[in-house]
Amino acid sequence: MPEKQKINILWFTNNLRIRDNESIVKIQQENLPFLAVYVFDSDFYNEKQFGFRKIGKFRTQFLLETVLDLEKNLEQIGIPFVKKFGKTAEIFQEIAQHFEIETIFCQQEWTRDEILVQRKVEKVLITTTWSKSYSQLLLQPDFVYSQIETIPIHFTVFRQKIEKNFTVREEFNSEKSEKKSNFESEIKSDDIDLKLLGFENFETHPSSPFPFSGGEIEAFKRLNAYFFEHQNLNSYKETRNGMIGSDYSSKFSAWLANGSLSPVSVYHEIKKYEAEFGSNDSTYWLIFELLWREFFKYVAMQYQDKIFQITGILDKIYPYDDDENTVQQWIQGKTESDFINANMNEIRQTGFMSNRGRQNVASYFCKILNQDWRIGAAYFEEMLIDYDVHSNYGNWMYVAGVGNDPRNRTFNPEKQAEAYDNDFQYRDLWLH
């Protein structure tokens, strides 16, 4: 039997970009030919938690667009790419029947589902080595842990210690791959669409605050429009609590969540903007928001599976009623609060909701309806275009009082509606 050709694998997960991608830079420095792979994992599309899918139609559509965009971008820099549907470990096993896989270059993960998939692959590729990069982070762990021994419970303590000596790395620059290897004869891409993944085609809601498509090209179009064309960054701090339209906030979260946009790129673009137009509270505030995102990633790294447990990272008793009807009324926008109902109608129809809305509906679910916060978190996981495991579970724990805010506050939806929707514009939009 002829000896199998040795190759490396560039495994894409939530790092779906070519700009500022450490794994691409590292794999290009090796001598072996390599193949880029993305897997739509069938287990992930079939799995349910609390009766909800792990991923719903909105994020699936956005992900499909992102992977198609990645395919085009990789082609332009001469990197062969296959997208597959199936169980990840089985797909790697299939590739290993044709090639000897030396090293897999991928993103470092530290949450349950992601680690589980990596372990399954490790089991079938026992001799393969791994090269993992912290490419979803703004700040490298070496830097963070040189400033802080353990991640504090309070964000403010984290931020103050980090900001004292703020160090963000430069972006990674990938090059055009010189010799394009051809793997087509052995490994072919699958045709993947919404139907294959279990969904019907749908139109974006005309009032969606997130009318954008997936992919790195769209991400930078949005960034350039928001920063440089319209200079919306200048007033971000004043508008970020808005609820209608696409420009009250940056809307970068969905691209950041699947890694088609890197937080490091966003940081350096903010610095470019400040050099051109000056810095103010708003330019700082977007960095402040990136730090919140970062904080939740480090909280998850430190506490691991505790972020999915009812008692949270505080090991605190969380009493709740278990009432399916109450949960359904919340989901269907049929609670006693019109402000909560409007927000719940918006997420159900668009896969998006403002930050202000998210805090309110989560607080209502946990503190007024007294339901299991993990059910709310699982519903968000299915629905949100910009779902990110660390931010989603971090924020839900926070609101439930078992996370990074031990003060355990409750939002008053009437007062919130008065403050953020006193002209009823938002409620009129989503209640009719």
pLDDT exceeds cutoff 80 at 185: no
pLDDT exceeds cutoff 80 at 103: yes
- Condensed to tens digits (0 to 9), the pLDDT of residues 334-393 reads 999 999 999 999 999 999 999 999 999 999 999 999 999 999 999 999 999 999 999 999
pLDDT exceeds cutoff 90 at 175: no
**Confidence grade of residue 183 (pLDDT, cut at 50, 70, 90):** confident
Helix (H) or strand (E) holding 316: none
Q: How far apart are CA 402 and CA 309, in angstroms?
A: 10
If you ran DSSP here, which 8-state letter would residue 61 be given?
H
Cβ(27)–Cβ(8) below 8 Å: yes
CATH number of 217-303: 1.25.40.80
pLDDT exceeds cutoff 80 at 407: no
Q: DSSP states of 188-238 as a string?
A: -PPP--TTTTT----PPPTT-S--PPPSHHHHHHHHHIIIIIS-GGGGHHH
Compute CA distances 158 → 56, 128, 222, 299, 351, whole Å. 33, 37, 30, 10, 31
Closest CA to 107 of 29, 26, 217: 26
- Condensed to tens digits (0 to 9), the pLDDT of residues 221-261 reads 999 999 999 999 999 999 999 999 999 999 999 999 999 99
pLDDT exceeds cutoff 80 at 178: no
**Confidence grade of residue 186 (pLDDT, cut at 50, 70, 90):** confident
Q: Name the architecture of domain 5-135.
A: 3-Layer(aba) Sandwich (3.40)
Amino acid 34: pLDDT: 96
Task: Report the DSSP pairing between strands 48-49 and 52-53.
Answer: antiparallel
CB-based contacts of 223-227 (< 8 A; 24+ apart in sequence):
223/250, 223/252, 223/261, 223/266, 223/269, 226/250, 226/251, 227/269, 227/270, 227/273
Compute CA distances 81 → 62, 75, 211, 216, whole Å. 19, 8, 28, 16
Structure tokens that stand for 75 in this block? 């082609």
Q: How far apart are CA 381 and CA 373, in angstroms?
A: 12
The rounded mean pLDDT for the chain is 95
Amino acid 3: pLDDT: 85
Cβ(400)–Cβ(318) below 8 Å: yes
- Condensed to tens digits (0 to 9), the pLDDT of residues 45-89 reads 999 999 999 999 999 999 999 999 999 999 999 999 999 999 999
pLDDT exceeds cutoff 80 at 163: yes
Bridge partner residues of 6 (DSSP): 100
Closest CA to 255 of 20, 10, 82: 20
Bridge partner residues of 8 (DSSP): 34
Bridge partner residues of 106 (DSSP): 132
Residues ≥6 apart with Cβ < 8 Å to 101: 7, 8, 9, 92, 95, 125, 128
Amino acid 353: pLDDT: 97
- Let me know if the fold of 217-303 is the same as that of 309-431: no
Q: How far apart are CA 427 and CA 432, in angstroms?
A: 8
pLDDT exceeds cutoff 70 at 180: no
Compute CA distances 256 → 73, 216, 239, 415, whole Å. 17, 10, 20, 32
Closest CA to 357 of 209, 202, 206, 219: 209
Mean pLDDT of 403-419: 90
Q: How far apart are CA 188 and CA 89, in angstroms?
A: 17
Extents of the domains making up the chain = 5-135, 217-303, 309-431
Amino acid 405: pLDDT: 83
Amino acid 171: pLDDT: 97
**Confidence grade of residue 408 (pLDDT, cut at 50, 70, 90):** confident
Mean pLDDT of 15-44: 96
pLDDT exceeds cutoff 70 at 333: yes
Lowest-confidence region among 2-11, 206-215, 268-277, 329-338? 2-11
Query: Measured at the alpha carbon of residue 132, what is the angle toward residues 128 and 133, in degrees to the nearest 5?
Result: 160
Q: How far apart are CA 422 and CA 243, in angstroms?
A: 12
Domain 309-431 is found in CATH 3.90.180.10 = no
Amino acid 293: pLDDT: 97
